[in-house]
Amino acid sequence: MKRLSLCALCLLAMTPGLQAQPAAAAPPLTGKVEGGTYISPTGVFKVPVPVLPDLGGSVTDTENVVTFEDDFSLHVSIAAFAQDATQRWELSTRGPKDYLVYFFTNFVMPDFLRRYEGASIESARFLPSLNDGTLLTYTLLPGGSVFAGRAALASADPKSVVAKRGNLVFVKSGYIFVISSELAEHVLERSGTKRTTAEEDELLRQRLLDLVAKIEFARPATPDARK
């Protein structure tokens, strides 16, 4: 359980207050970029890099999480953690929908709550046809926006800015994936032009689905030695 709880912690490590240094000072990647494609350290997935250096794009990662960010409107992270025996048992006994709800509720949200007081799940839905079952959630994170410094807000306090994120959670090749993206428009748009909640949800959903469609999943290069 401890191993899997790090999933949300690593996601949070890429958010305000705990972000990696700017690209010039960033540590070497744990994974690698080849021909414009990011390849995870485990080899379980690869994805075209969705940011451009000329637009301030940066790629930072750990063994299990990669974050892509630029200076304008993109912030997305992909986490992939190998399931241990307990998690595989939970999946087999609960089934995909209940398992993913269980995982998000018990591992991801508690860490969001520890990092952002008042964090909440705005809504959630299960997508049965995506990757044999995917949980889509929309979360509101007070003080959790990477775009707070760019927003035209009355308050200069970043903690007053509520980030909205879409999160996809699914199991693929024995790994739990958590893909998270902040909706920049939620904080950058002025009140008179803000989208409705339904419009925001659809925009985030489409962006996440577009990203997932570009990910190439594969089993780890080394034999699976999980117990």
Per-residue pLDDT tens for 126-154? Answer: 999 999 999 999 999 999 998 887 655 54
| Domains, the chain, ordered by start | 2-217 (3.40.1000.10)
How far is residue 102's CA from residue 5's CA, in Å, rounded to a whole number? 12
Q: In what order do the strands lie in the sheet with 216-217?
A: 32-34, 37-39, 45-48, 216-217
The reported pLDDT for the residue numbered 61 is: 96
The reported pLDDT for the residue numbered 14 is: 47
The reported pLDDT for the residue numbered 161 is: 87
Query: Could you tell me the end-to-end alpha-carbon distance of the chain, in angstroms, rounded to an integer?
Result: 13
How far is residue 90's CA from residue 168's CA, in Å, rounded to a whole number? 19
Mean pLDDT (the chain) is 85
How far is residue 44's CA from residue 173's CA, in Å, rounded to a whole number? 8
